[in-house]
Amino acid sequence: MITGGTGSFGRAFVSKLIEDFPDIARLVVYSRDELKQYEMSKVFPQTKTGKIRYFIGDVRDEERLKLAFRGIDIVVHAAALKQVPAAEYNPTECIKTNVIGAQNVISAAMACNVQNIVALSTDKAAAPVNLYGATKLCSDKLFVAANNITGASGTIFSVVRYGNVMGSRGSVIPFFAEQRKKGFLPITDGRMTRFNILLEEGVEMVLHAIENALGGEIFVPKIPSYNILDLANAIAPSVPTKIVGIRPGEKIHEEMITIADAPMTVDAGKYYIILPDNYRYSFSEFSEKVGGERVNDNFRYNSGENEHFLSIEQLRELLAAKLDINPF
Cite the active site residues.
Answer: 124
Cα distances from 319 to residues 19, 200, 231, 316, in angstroms, run 25, 14, 10, 5
| Burial status of residue 135 (CB atoms within 10 A of its CB: 0-12, 13-18, 19 or more) | buried
d(CA 111, CA 117): 13
Number of C-beta neighbours around residue 214 at 10 A: 16
Please say whether the beta carbons of 187 and 236 come within 8 A: no
Residue 275 to residue 263: CA distance in whole angstroms:
9
What single DSSP character describes residue 87? H
Which of 26, 72, 76 has the alpha carbon at shortest distance from 46?
A: 26
